[in-house]
Structure formats: C-alpha cells, structure tokens
Amino acid sequence: MTIKIAITNQKGGVGKTTTAVNLAAALSKAKRKVLLIDIDAQSNATSAAGISKNDCESLYEHFELKDKIDKYILDASGGYKIIPANPNLVATEKIIENTKEREKFFSKNLKLAKDYDYILVDCPPSLNLLTINAMEYCGSVLVPVQCEYYALEGLVTLKSTIEQLNDSRGLKIEIAAILRTMADWRNRLTREVSGQLEKHFKSKVLNTIIPRNVRLAEAPSYGQSIVDYDIKSIGGEAFLSLSGEFIRRFEHAKKKSA
C-alpha cells in the first residue's frame, strides 16, 4: 500500500516545498520508491527537482487532454519521480469546478501506479480546490510550521477548516503530522512556539526539527536536493533523520493495520 501525504499549510513560505523535495530525496536514498506531485503553479518544487517549469507539462495538461499519466512522470534530480507544475495549473480549478463532487476530482481522475512506497504532494499556500483535492486524495496531511508568532493560530485555523470539510462534504482528511521548520534555538520565540505546539498537538508533532540552514536555501538554485548538495550539513542530517522518522511512524503503522 502506498503512503500518501499532502504537504499543506495555507501560510506562505513556511517550508512546504523545502520539506517536499528534500523528504522525497531522503526517502529515495533509503531505497523507497517516491513520487512527488507539484500542484503549485509557482512550480518551486519542479525547479528544485532540476526541471524547467516553462518546458514541462503538468496535471493541468493531463486533466485537459484526459491522456495517460505516465508521460507526465519525470525523473527528479533527487532520485525520485515527479509530476511537475507549470503556470497553466492555475486553470485546473476551472476544470474541477464544473464537475460533480469536486473535492474528489483527484481521487476519481488520477490513476497512478500502485507500486510507489510514497506519494507526496507539494501544495500551494492556499486552501484552494487543488489543495483540498490533494488532501482528500491523500487522506493524510503533513503541516510544516515555522516556529513564529502566528504559527499556532494558523494551525488551529487549518485544523478547523479540515474538520468543517470532513463534516460538510463527508471527507476523511487527517492531520497526520506537524513538522517544525526553520528552527533557530537561539531565538526565544522558536523555543516558546515549539513548546506550545507540543502541548496542543502532542504526538502529532514530529520529533525531528528542521533547523534554519543556509545550505537548504541554496540547494534549489542548483536544481538539487540537500541529499546531493550537502548531505553533511545540519539541514542534510535533519532530512535524513526526518525520513527515518517517517519510515518508523508511517510504515510501522501501515504494517500494524494490515
């Protein structure tokens, strides 16, 4: 069974894409078969994977042409597969809007091979129809959170939006994990917010914490993941540790439920 996770936070710049591309690469390094889907028209995950957003097709073309998905699945520089994003993705909402049960459009129309160990989806910074579809398709959400003043508020809003969607539309979306990103322990706010997250969200908060590390910010400009760019940096080590925690948390849970 594939573990499917949408990487979501309606707040911009919290580390969604950094998490998506580096976690995908670290899981690939651990010999997992990973597919990353970029559904953000900004296409940052696509360029971080070494692919030009102006020179690729996205889910938009796939849904528009209703053709086989295989031709859209490309090799990313980090050793995983990717369905890239391009600026046309914005128009995908128009396609979905006019369908029945529009929150379930991905589930009905995205027919992917079943042999991936992980499917990760990098979402845009908004709870638009694409994001809702990604959350419904995956069932599980990973929320990267920057330990800043409004982080907790944003997370509470996301949680209640998901609960409302589940109730009103009959969906089964779950916040599976919360990842603290861009942490700087010298900063009092990082320590305070990190503690508040643990208090409110308990075991949902992952043990691995992604530190603020310039190597993580540099890697995408070389079209590389941190695993290839500088695995020995503190950012590289954090993502290796995150992939280990993912494997323990999600693969073991899967075995137990099987």
Ligand X SMILES: Nc1ncnc2c1ncn2[C@@H]1O[C@H](COP(=O)(O)OP(=O)(O)OP(=O)(O)O)[C@@H](O)[C@H]1O
List residues binding Mg ion (CB under 5 A). 16-17, 44
Task: Kindly state whether residue 213 participates in binding ligand X, applying the rule CB under 6 A.
Answer: yes
With CB cut-offs between 5 and 8 Å by kind, which of ligand X, Mg ion, none does residue 12 bind? ligand X
For residue 87, state whether it binds ligand X (rule: CB under 6 A).
no
- Single out the residue of 130, 151, 212, 246 in contact with ligand X (rule: CB under 6 A): 212
Q: Which tokens in the block code for residue 132?
A: 């809702």
Asked if residue 59 lies in contact with residue 86, where contact means CB atoms within 8 angstroms, the answer is no
Q: Which is nearer to Mg ion, 46 or 171 (CB)?
A: 46
| List 24, 32, 40, 233, residue binding ligand X (CB under 6 A) | 40
Which of 234/247 has CB closer to ligand X?
234
Q: How many residues bind ligand X (CB under 6 A)?
A: 19
Q: Quick check: 210 binds ligand X (CB under 6 A)?
A: yes
Report 163-192 residues binding ligand X (CB under 6 A).
181-182
Query: Using the rule CB under 6 A, is 12 a contact of ligand X?
Result: yes
3-state SS class at 111: coil
Map residue 30 onto helix, strand or coil.
coil
CB of 31 to Mg ion, least distance (A): 26
CA–CA separation, 240 vs 145, rounded Å?
Answer: 19
| Measured distance CA(116)–CA(36) in Å, rounded | 10
State which of residues 6, 8, 15, 197 lies at the interface with ligand X (CB under 6 A). 15
* Closest CB to Mg ion among residues 171, 210: 210
Q: Which two tokens stand for residue 70?
A: 């295989």
Q: Is 16 in the site for ligand X (CB under 6 A)?
A: yes
Residue 165, H or E segment: helix 151-169
- To which H or E segment does residue 134 belong? helix 129-138
Binding status of residue 216 toward ligand X by CB under 6 A? yes
Instruction: Give the whole-angstrom CA distance, residue 76 versus residue 70.
Output: 15
The answer to whether residue 90 forms part of the interface with ligand X (CB under 6 A) is: no
Tokens of 94: 């128009």
DSSP element (H, E) containing 143: strand 140-146
Instruction: Please identify, using beta-carbon distances, which residue of 28 and 213 lies nearer to ligand X.
Output: 213
Task: Report what 182 binds from ligand X, Mg ion, none; CB cut-off 5-8 Å by kind.
Answer: ligand X
Q: What angle do CA 88, 105, 153 make, to 5 degrees?
A: 80
Asked if residue 246 lies in contact with residue 23, where contact means CB atoms within 8 angstroms, the answer is: yes
Which positions touch ligand X (CB under 6 A)? 12-18, 40, 42, 44, 125, 181-182, 210, 212-213, 216-217, 235
